[in-house]
Structure 1
Amino acid sequence: MKIFSAQQMRKADEATMQSKNITSLELMEHAATKVFNLIHEKLQGAPMLVHVFCGLGNNGGDGLVISRLLVEHGYNVKVYIVNFSDNRSKEFLVNYDRFKDISKEWPIQIKSEEDFPEINSKDMVIDAIFGIGLSRPLLPWVTSLIKHINTSRSFTVSVDIPSGLYADKAPDDPQGAIFASVTVTFQTPKLIFFLPQTGIYTQDLEVIDIGLDQNYLQQQPGIAELISKNEILPLYRSRYKYSHKGNYGHSIIVGGSYGKIGSVVLATKAALRTGAGLITAYVPECGYEVLQTSVPEAMVITDDDDELSEIRLDFKPSAVGIGVGIGTSEKTIKAFEEFLKENTSQLVIDADGINILAKHPELIESLNENTILTPHPKELERLIGAWKDDFEKIEKTKSFSKKHRCIVVIKGANSLIIYGDQMYINNTGNPGMATAGSGDVLTGIITGLLSQGYDALQATVFGVYLHGSAGDIVALETGFESLMASDIISKIGLAFLGLFKTPDIRKEKS
């Protein structure tokens, strides 16, 4: 599913009005009615007080349509106009008059903190103050109103996006945006719902199709692609009946140091579970017995006693995953440098491999085109520098990716895959995956897919999705707190099966 910018969504409205020969008022009526229908379906006429806060633009117009429909269906409604400007949109004014025509109570004007209404925690709030067009800081009393709504702890529904959020940057005041219980957004999700700094303002997201012009939406490139099963299934390669292990590549996982051999075990097992035909673990000698015992399916090559001092291969692997648990000693850095200069295989770099690149940026020039980097946020900061907000983080990552012709996975909730100007947002995964070794598993999954012939971008997008999907299956069984990285490996098979059907977890447990 494509993610569009605020400007693209405005143009989609215009294209829809032209192609369907409808007015902006008719489009607003249609969209707001969809929001009302969703709210009405949930409330079923429940006798609660509904506070509707309307801005002065088209988001406020949506709120007035919703208010009118609530009154017409017998709900107890109080409507407030957040009067922060002398300007009003035409659509707002028309719907303001329509509301006054059917309601015994006219909207209440809010012009300062003295006008703030009392909101009970058992009441409901509909937030229609600002939409995706917010472009300047809020007046102080408007920020106070938003904080007043948040403090009420009432169930809050935001229309399109929570008020106080910009479409393309973090809020000026972290407490100056609505913390919505539900956001009902139009046609497609917005980027802000998937970023750490702005995703926190929406507990649940409902996307409603308001019938925007599909020809326009299909022709637009979008600013990102939201990855779910529908986008992943076409990437899947089924296996040929008469194939053998040589058809699925020979992966190698390079890493480990004294006390950190477990990371190589996890990555190696994950690559095997993902379908690599052969796999070799390249570790210090102290990891030999651990690997041979923990992963009997893998071959093992060893180097120095406690840490790697050279990385010499007498064959060309299909794919290499390097960096997990490898450490950053001087001799390991030297071995890593020599390896990068000689390597011609597809490459995934994680953990200390990224930390070495950050300390020695000249080594980045040795990376093959389409090398895959999988940093967690702190590793990414070491690599590209600090950022002021998530939007700048994305732009700096894009610049890094274009400059060095590499793919970068920004790990986290809704991991982002950056490839030049292209951005993919993963829609699988859960908070239980914030646990030791989860990133090592991802390295193994992507490496295993590379070895089977998936190209670098396909392997990355597919791998991040599988990783999150396997984690979601585990979470259904264990909950978030008990999820371990090794559990994710055990469910990779069900994640593959889940591309074709919903896995029956109860049957699996029996």
Structure 2
Amino acid sequence: MKIFSKAQVYSGDKLTAQRQNITSTDLMERAGTQIFNWMHARMQGAQVPIHVFCGIGNNGGDGLVVARHLVTHGYNVKTYVVNCSDKRSKDFLVNYDRIKNVTKNWPTLLSCKGDFPKIHHNDIIVDAVFGIGLNRPVDAWIKALFVHFKSAKAYTLSIDIPSGLNTEKTPEDEDAVVWAGYTLSFASPKLVFFLPQTAKYTVQWEVLDIGLDKEFLYTTETEVELIGKHEVLPMYIPRDKFSHKGHFGHALIIGGSYGKIGAVTLASRAALSVGAGLISAYVPKCGYTVLQSSFPEAMVITDTNEALISKIDFKIEPTVIGFGVGIGTKAKTVNAFEAFLKVNITPLVIDADGINILSKKKALLKLLPKLTVLTPHPKELERLIGNWKDDFDKLKKVKAFSNKHHVIVVIKGANTITVFQDKLYVNSTGNPGLATAGSGDVLTGIITGLIAQGYNPLIASVFGVYLHGRSADIAVEDFGYHSLIASRVIDYLGDAFIDLFKQPEQQEQDKKEEKNS
């Protein structure tokens, strides 16, 4: 799913009005009506008090449309206009007149001083104060109003975006933003719904179709894309009946040190489980028995050193190399990595201490093959690119880093974001169960295993992140968040692949059968 920028949303609205020969007021009516339809389908006339708070711009106009339909359908609704300025939009004024024509209970004008309306915790708040056009800090009284919303503990539904939340900047004051239980967004979700510092402002979100111009939606290129099943299914490469293991590449995992051979075992198992034809592991001598006994499918090559990687020397010709899991940053290992990079031309996936070594010796970045995949967690990323002031600054710096070194950066997190040059791919799968030891090693193995099979490194990264999260989503139904361990994510990779081809109705049927059993 494309995630449109603020400028693109405005452009789409304008193009839609032109090409469909409608006014901006007509488009506002569509938007507000879709919000009402969503609410009406769930409330079915329930007489819960609904408080609709409208600003005086276009987002407020959407709110007035919603309020008018709620009134005409007999709901218990109170409408308020946050009347802190005289800069009312044209479409707001049109809909202000329209709601006055259908009820004697005209909207209450809040003059941004005095007391707030009383809201019970069982009530519903519809937040239509500010939209995506907000580009300034909110006034102190409006901030206090938002705090009043939060303290009331009423269910809060925001229109398009929680009021006070900027689409391109992290809020400086979290009390100056509405904390929504649900946000109904137009055109696409907003990037801020997925970033660590801003996702907290809406618990859930949904995109409503308001009939924007189809050509605009299909042909407009966006900087950000949300990755779900629909996006990854075309990436899948089916297997031929007469294929054999030689067709699916040879993955090599280089890593491990005394006490950390488990990381290599997890990465190697994941690479083979995701479909690599052959898997070899290059480890210190201490890892030989561990790997041969715990993962017999792997071939094992050992360093001459007992406890760490001191030299990287192998005779095989791998398709791709995953480097860094459990490897440590001892001087001998750093020197071995540098010597290896000077002669290596094989595609690389680098994780963990491999990234830490690059951070300490940034000159080595020049030796990386193009399209090398880096998979840092937040602290590793900070060591690599330096500090950032907020999530937007972080993304800006990662894009600059990717452009400079022509590498792919997988920013691991709740919504893992894959970055290549100026493009962002936001993952939609995964859950808190992945916050466990070894899950990053598994992801490294998955991406390495996909590249081994012939997937482009960028596709392998995006697809691999999706499969990693989807496997965890399926596994968590059996184990819960607390008991999900990394090896179980590997065990459920097959289910994640099968799930790609399940229709929604089949998924629902499977859930019913599991519940009954």
Same fold (TM over 0.5): yes
Cα deviation, 1:135-170, whole Å, max 9, x if unaligned, reads 111111111111111111100000000001001111
Which amino acid in the other structure matches residue 39 of structure 1?
M
Separation in 1, partners of 2:186, 2:477: 30
Q: Secondary structure at the match of 1:102?
A: coil
Tell me if the contact between 1:311 and 1:339 (Cα under 8 Å) persists in the aligned partners.
yes
In structure 2, what residue type is equivalent to 1:278?
A: L
Instruction: State the one-letter code of the partner of 2:379.
Output: K
The answer to whether the 8 Å contact 2:371/2:407 transfers is yes
TM-score of the aligned structures, taking structure 2 as reference length = 0.97
Q: Does the CA contact (< 8 Å) of 1:71 and 1:103 recur in 2? A: yes
Q: Does structure 2 retain, via aligned residues, the 8 Å contact 1:121–1:155?
A: yes
Say whether the 8 Å CA contact 2:9–2:187 is kept in structure 1: no
What is the rounded CA distance, in whole Å, between the counterparts of 1:175 and 1:254 in structure 2? 48
Which aligned pairs between 1:142-161 and structure 2 lie closer than 5 A? Answer: 142-161=142-161
CA contact under 8 A between 1:113 and 1:145: conserved in structure 2? no
Q: Name the SS of the counterpart of 2:197 in structure 1.
A: helix
Q: Describe the superposition over 1:189-248 as per-residue Cα deviations: whole angstroms up to 9, x where unpaired.
A: 111111111111111112111010111222211121111111111111111212211111
The match for 1:270 is 270
Looking at structure 2, the residues matched to 311 and 177 of structure 1 have their Cα atoms a distance apart, in angstroms, of 53
For 2:466 and 2:70, how far apart are their aligned partners in 1? 41
Partner amino acid for 1:250?
A: H
User: How do 1:82-481 and structure 2 match up within 5 A?
Assistant: 82-303=82-303, 304-481=305-482
Note the C-alpha offset of 1:363. Answer: 0.8
Name the CA distance, whole Å, in 1 between partners of 2:359 and 2:84. 47
Superposed CA deviations along residues 1-25 of structure 1, whole A, max 9, x for unmatched, are 1111011001100000001100011
Identical amino acids, percent of aligned pairs? 57
Structure 1: stretches of 5+ with no match in the other structure = none
Distance 1:172 1:10 in 2: 25
One-letter amino acid of the structure 2 residue matched with residue 124 of structure 1 = I
List alignment gaps of at least 5 residues for structure 2.
none
Q: Please say if residues 71 and 77 of structure 2, whose CA atoms lie closer than 8 Å, have aligned partners that are also in contact.
A: yes
Letter in 1 for 2:401: F
CA contact 2:358–2:365 (8 Å) conserved in 1: yes
Give the deviation of 1:499 after TM superposition. 1.0
Aligned residue type for 2:306: D
Q: Between Structure 1 and Structure 2, how many residues are aligned?
A: 510
Shift of 1:113: 4.7
Question: Which letter does structure 1 place at the counterpart of 2:424?
Answer: M
CA distance in 2, matches of 1:100, 1:507: 52
Equivalent position amino acid for 1:165 in 2: L
Check conservation: 1:473, 1:505, Cα contact below 8 A: no
Aligned partners of 1:112 and 1:32: how far apart in 2?
25
- Provide the C-alpha distance between the structure 2 equivalents of 1:204 and 1:331, rounded to a whole number of angstroms: 49
One-letter amino acid of the structure 1 residue matched with residue 150 of structure 2: N
SS of aligned partner of 1:365: helix
Alignment partner of 2:455: what SS? Answer: coil
The amino acid across from 2:358 in the alignment is L
Instruction: Give the secondary structure class of the aligned counterpart of 1:67.
Output: helix
Letter in 2 for 1:221: E
Counterpart Cα distance in 2 of 1:467 and 1:427: 11
- Per the TM alignment, residue 111 of structure 1 is displaced from its structure 2 partner at its CA by 2.4
Give the CA deviation at 1:286: 1.1
Runs of 4+ in 1 over 3 A off after TM superposition: 502-510
Identify the residue that residue 74 of structure 2 maps to in structure 1.
74
| TM-score of the aligned structures, taking structure 1 as reference length | 0.98
Aligned Cα root-mean-square deviation (Å): 1.3
